[in-house]
Amino acid sequence: MAILSKTLAGQVALVTGANRGIGRQISIDLAAGGAKVILSARSIDSLIPVEQESEGLGGRCERVALNVTDQSVVEAAVQAIVARHGKIDLLVNNAGIGAGSENPWDLPVEEWWAVHEVNVKGPYICTQAVMRHMTRQRAGRIIDVGSMVAAYPNPTASPYAASKAALFRWNSCLAEGAKAFGVSAFVISPGLVATDMTDRPQFADIPADQWVPIEKTGELVVALASGKADVLAGRFIHALDDLDSLVKQADKIVAENLQTLSIQMLHDLF
Ligand code: NDP
C-alpha cells in the first residue's frame, strides 16, 4: 500500500491479533505510517515475522503476549506500555473468532458464548485498560473491528453475528461517553477479506468481485489514526467507504443518524 509519509510519527498503538490476517496488515501499515506499534497476540513468537516485515519498512514495533480475554494480562500489558512510552494513543481491537452451525440453535452453549468472550468481552477488557490512561491524557482513539454481519441475520454464523452486533452497540456507547474525554471511538468493517477466517467451504463460491483487498482495512485504520475523521467518532465505517466524502458530509450523517445500527420502524412511536 502507498503510505507515503510518516503521518503517525510519535503515536503509540496497540493492535490485538496482530500475528496474522487483518491484524497483521493493520500493524504493518501503522508501523509504515510512523507509529510505534505494540504487536500483540497469544503467542509472542508468532509476531516475529510481522515485526520483521514492519521494521523492513522502517517501522518500529514491540511484541507482547496477550490473550484479550485475560483481564489481568491485558491490564499489565497496557500498564507496561504506558510506563515505557508515557502514553497510549491508539487501540485497535482486531482479535476475533467465528463459529457457526447448520441451525442457529445447534451450537453447544459454551462454543456460542466463547465467540462473545473474544469478540465482545475482549474489546471491553482492552478498552477499559486503555481508557484509564486515555481519560487522563484527554486524548486517544479506539478502533473496533466489526462486521456488516452485525446488521443482517446470519443463521449459520449466529454467535459471530450476535457478537458483532453487540460490539457495534458497545462501540457507540463508548464513543458517546468518551468524546468528553477527548477520545474518539470507531467501529469499522473490513468487508469480506481472504484470511484464515474465511478460508472455509462456505466462502468458496463467493464471486471474486465481492472480496475486499486486505490493504483497504490497513489504509482505513491509518486514516482514522491520523485524526482526520474524528468528526465521525461513533459511526460505522466500511473499508470501501470514501472516508473524505464521509467527513465532508459529517453533519448530514449525524443529523440523519446514518452509518450506524438502528431499528427501522414502520410507525413513529414518539
Ligand atoms: P483471522 O482468523 O485471520 O485472525 C484472527 C486473529 O485473532 C488472530 O490473530 C488470532 O490469534 C486472534 N485471536 C483470536 N482469539 C484471540 C484471543 N483470545 N486473544 C488474542 N487474539 C486472539 O481473522 P481475520 O484477520 O479475518 O479477522 C480479524 C478481525 O476482522 C476479526 O475481528 C474479524 O471478526 C474481523 N472481520 C473479518 C472479516 C473477514 O472477511 N476476514 C470480515 C469482517 C470482519 P491466534 O493466531 O492466536 O489465533
Each of the 270 residues of the chain gets a pLDDT tens digit; together they read 444 578 999 999 999 999 999 999 999 999 999 999 999 999 999 999 999 999 999 999 999 999 999 999 999 999 999 999 999 999 999 999 999 899 999 999 999 999 999 999 999 999 999 999 999 999 999 999 999 999 999 999 999 999 999 999 999 999 999 999 999 999 999 999 999 999 999 899 999 999 999 999 999 999 999 999 999 999 999 999 999 999 999 999 999 999 999 998 999 888
Amino acid at 91: L
* CA end-to-end distance (rounded Å), the chain: 48
Residue 3's pLDDT is: 47
CA of residue 19 to ligand 1 center, whole Å: 9
pTM, two decimals, is 0.97
CA of residue 96 to ligand 1 center, whole Å: 4
Residue 5's pLDDT is: 75
pLDDT digit string, tens, across residues 29-63: 999 999 999 999 999 999 999 999 999 999 999 99
CB 253 within 8 A of CB 61: no
Residue 1's pLDDT is: 47
Q: Describe the strand order of the beta sheet including 90-93 as a list of residue ranges.
A: 60-65, 36-41, 12-15, 90-93, 140-145, 183-189, 236-238
CA of residue 97 to ligand 1 center, whole Å: 5
Q: Of all atoms in ligand 1, which is nearest to the CA of residue 192?
A: 40
pLDDT digit string, tens, across residues 92-113: 999 999 998 999 999 999 999 9
72: which 3 cell numbers?
489481568
CB 128 within 8 A of CB 142: no
CB 96 within 8 A of CB 119: yes
Q: Of all atoms in ligand 1, which is nearest to the CA of residue 197?
A: 2
Distance CA 247, CA 249 (A): 5
CA of residue 94 to ligand 1 center, whole Å: 6
Amino acid at 139: A
Greatest C-alpha distance within the chain: 58
Beta partners for residue 92, in sequence order: 15, 143
User: Which of 15, 20, 210 most suits a substitution to test ligand 1, by most atoms within 8 Å of the C-beta?
Assistant: 20
Name the residues annotated as catalytic: 160
Q: Which residues neighbour 192 within 8 Å (Cβ) at sequence distance 6 or greater?
A: 198, 203, 206, 210, 211, 212
CA of residue 267 to ligand 1 center, whole Å: 39
Distance CA 205, CA 169 (A): 31
Residue 41: CB atoms within 10 A of its CB come to 25
Ligand 1 pocket, residues with Cβ under 6 angstroms: 16-17, 19-23, 41-43, 46, 67-69, 94-97, 118, 145, 147, 189-190, 192-193, 195-198
Looking at ligand 1, which residue's alpha carbon is closest to its atom 44? Answer: 147
Looking at ligand 1, which residue's alpha carbon is closest to its atom 8? Answer: 17
Distance CA 185, CA 227 (A): 11
- The 3-state secondary structure of 184-240 reads EEEEEECCCCCCHHHCCHHHCCCCHHHCCCCHHHHHHHHHHHCCCCHHHCCCEEECC
Distance CA 248, CA 107 (A): 44
Looking at ligand 1, which residue's alpha carbon is closest to its atom 33? Answer: 96
**Residue 6 main-chain phi, psi, to 5 deg:** -85, 70
